[in-house]
A and B are shown apart, each in its own frame.
Chain A
């Protein structure tokens, strides 16, 4: 079964850091681009970042550039999102999603992990 499972969410103070992980199974992880998409409570979906199969290309939404870093470990079938300098507006459920190439549909989604930035 194709599956994505996120972890690492929690409560963090403004200015703090958090690292999210996404474990992939049931498909050849190294053959796919991967993405992070977030959803603030009661709001719509917002794309956060993309990473190419070998990690050589990374793209971010402007609001997280310089603060968030997407990475992957193909040997561990894992995707990561390092989030620094967190702000209240980063509060959201963070989903990892599979994508065949950088400009494609998100065909498989994880269940999400909640990040709350609050003092």
Chain B
């Protein structure tokens, strides 16, 4: 099973700040890494697929990069509505696995 480790677990940030969340895989997964946003009491929503492809309708301030074992989700010019928990997910091999999540708090 491929283990995904996100950092940080929690971050408190101010609006308009740039945020970077990282996800490290326990073995190489190519670009089969996806990012989701989950707001309180809502289901997850796909933001970025295959490391860097933005999903339809996602604001352009969200971007992704990386390959192999190290990946990054970047949020440029953070907005208050971005308060949420963010998860990475690998689909390189079964079982699908997720990172533990990164909770973003807006100051």
Q: Is the CB of B89 within 8 A of A45?
A: yes
Number of interface residues of A (CB under 8 A): 22
Interface residues of B (CB under 8 A from A): 32, 34, 36, 42-46, 49-50, 55, 87, 89, 91-101
Q: Which of A56-70 contact B (CB under 8 A)?
A: 59, 61-62
Q: Is the CB of B43 within 8 A of A112?
A: yes
Interface residues of A (CB under 8 A from B): 35, 37, 44-47, 50, 59, 61-62, 95, 102-112
| Complex: A102 Cα to B93 Cα, angstroms | 9
Q: Is the CB of B89 within 8 A of A105?
A: yes
- Chain A, Cβ-Cβ closest to B100: A44
Which of B32, B34, B43: most chain A Cβ within 10 A? B43
Would you list 11 pairs from A and B whose C-beta atoms are within 8 A, ordered by A residue?
A: A45-B36, A45-B87, A47-B97, A59-B94, A62-B95, A103-B32, A105-B34, A105-B49, A106-B36, A106-B46, A111-B42
- Chain B, Cβ-Cβ closest to A96: B43
| Complex: A103 Cα to B93 Cα, angstroms | 7
- Chain A, Cβ-Cβ closest to B33: A105
- Residues of B contacting A: mostly: loop
Q: Is the CB of A111 within 8 A of B43?
A: yes
| Complex: A44 Cα to B99 Cα, angstroms | 8
Besides A59-B95, A103-B94, 12 new A-B residue pairs in contact (Cβ under 8 A), listed by A number: A37-B96, A44-B99, A45-B36, A45-B98, A50-B96, A95-B43, A95-B44, A103-B32, A103-B92, A105-B49, A106-B46, A108-B46
The interface residues of chain A lying within 8 Å CB-to-CB of B46 are 105-108
Task: Say whether, besides A44-B101, A111-B43, A104 and B95 are in contact (CB < 8 Å).
Answer: no
| Complex: A109 Cα to B96 Cα, angstroms | 16
| Complex: A105 Cα to B101 Cα, angstroms | 17
The interface residues of chain B lying within 8 Å CB-to-CB of A112 are 43
Q: How far is the CB of A39 from chain B (nearest CB, A)?
A: 8
Q: Is the CB of B87 within 8 A of A104?
A: no
